[in-house]
């Protein structure tokens, strides 16, 4: 058995599909299928079975998954020990970031890193859900949380403030009429749902969204009020604050990775790059940019 075959097998076992493993590893679907068949032939047993819900491991496959996972940890430890001694920084680096950041404020930072370290093949993956770093779904996760997992190594990059926003003309109309504001219903992250529930306890919503990028688009259409991170709301010219940031809504922006990668050079240079670039924009993340005067005074 070759480690590269086991690496492909682990990707299939974790994703539950050939296509998902191929996408994660950036190789052809046919290559993944062929390597799995070759591994099964070498071992003389079936490792995965096709089901209606996807691929499932056989008992032999589950046993190999556990053994291959232990081997992977050994490889990571060696990679970390030796990688920290290399002068030339190269290799694959997979970073998982939440969608609203990856597609906006973080993209110039990622681009700057790629230019500074052209030998590192940077893969940016978008996910707003839990990503298992222990199972190598990604090497690094950038997440908004105040309770990062104790099993991970992390760097708190900054605080991210949130405020209540509305479209400028909509807010001007509220100020002129004194009408009761409408709130956009959110069905995305738990903290936005909780904050909206507190601000609008009667749940009188006629429009719902399940992603903060959709919240931003709905706000621009004048559909009501909603919470947004200040790095999004303050960057949108069409919007103004209805209510100022409250520190109780602050969330930590964390860069997280597995302890076995702490000595890997490409992880450490990425961490240093992110710390420096985020520090340059702390005022934006923390909601401290100067705000124009206007209908923001409507809210308490």
pLDDT tens digits for 67-99?
A: 888 887 777 666 656 655 556 688 889 899 988
Query: CA dist 245 to 136, 241, 250, 288, Å?
Result: 36, 9, 8, 9
pLDDT at position 192: 87
Q: What is the pLDDT of residues 125-146, one digit of tens each?
A: 887 665 656 566 788 999 999 9
Q: Above 90 in pLDDT, residue 216? A: yes
pLDDT at position 297: 45
Q: Above 70 in pLDDT, residue 162? A: yes
pLDDT at position 128: 64
Q: Rounded to whole angstroms, how far apart are CA atoms 168 and 173? A: 9
246 CB neighbour count, 10 Å cutoff:
13
Query: CA dist 246 to 85, 227, 257, 299, Å?
Result: 45, 11, 29, 12
* Torsion-angle region of 241 (φ positive above 0: left; ψ -120 to 50: alpha; else: beta): beta
108 vs 298: which has the higher pLDDT? 108
pLDDT band at 292 (very low <50, low <70, confident <90, very high): confident
> Nearest CA to 183 among 216, 219, 210?
219
Taking the whole predicted model, whether its pTM rises above 0.75 is answered as no
| Percent of the chain that is helix, strand, coil (3-state, to 5) | 45, 20, 35
Burial class (CB in 10 A: 0-12, 13-18, 19+), 91: middle
Burial class (CB in 10 A: 0-12, 13-18, 19+), 293: exposed
């Amino acid at each position: 058995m070759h480690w590269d075959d086991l690496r492909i097998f682990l990707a299939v076992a974790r994703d539950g599909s050939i296509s998902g493993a191929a996408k994660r590893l950036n190789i052809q679907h046919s290559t993944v299928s062929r390597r799995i068949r070759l591994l099964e032939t070498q071992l003389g047993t079936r490792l995965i079975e096709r089901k209606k819900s996807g691929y499932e491991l056989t008992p032999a496959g589950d046993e190999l998954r556990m053994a291959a996972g232990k081997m992977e940890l050994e490889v990571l430890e060696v990679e970390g020990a030796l990688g920290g001694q290399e002068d030339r920084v190269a290799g694959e680096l997979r970073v998982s970031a939440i969608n609203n950041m990856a597609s906006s404020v973080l993209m110039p930072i990622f681009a700057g890193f790629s230019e500074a370290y052209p030998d590192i093949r940077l893969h940016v993956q978008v996910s707003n859900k839990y990503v298992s770093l222990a199972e190598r779904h990604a090497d690094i996760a950038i997440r908004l949380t105040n309770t990062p997992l104790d099993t991970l190594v992390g760097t708190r990059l900054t605080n991210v403030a949130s405020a209540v926003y509305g479209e400028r003309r909509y807010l001007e109309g509220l100020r002129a009429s004194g009408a009761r504001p409408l709130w956009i219903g959110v069905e995305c992250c738990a903290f936005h749902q909780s904050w909206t529930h507190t601000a609008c306890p009667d749940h009188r919503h006629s429009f719902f969204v399940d992603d903060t990028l959709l919240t931003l688009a709905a706000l621009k259409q004048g559909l009501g009020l909603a919470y947004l991170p200040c790095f999004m709301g303050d960057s949108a010219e069409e919007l103004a604050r209805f209510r100022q940031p409250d520190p109780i809504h602050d969330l930590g922006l964390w860069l997280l990775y597995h302890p076995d990668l702490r000595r890997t050079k490409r992880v450490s240079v990425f961490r240093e790059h992110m710390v420096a670039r985020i520090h340059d924009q702390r005022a934006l993340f923390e909601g401290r940019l100067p705000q124009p005067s206007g209908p923001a005074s409507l809210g308490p």
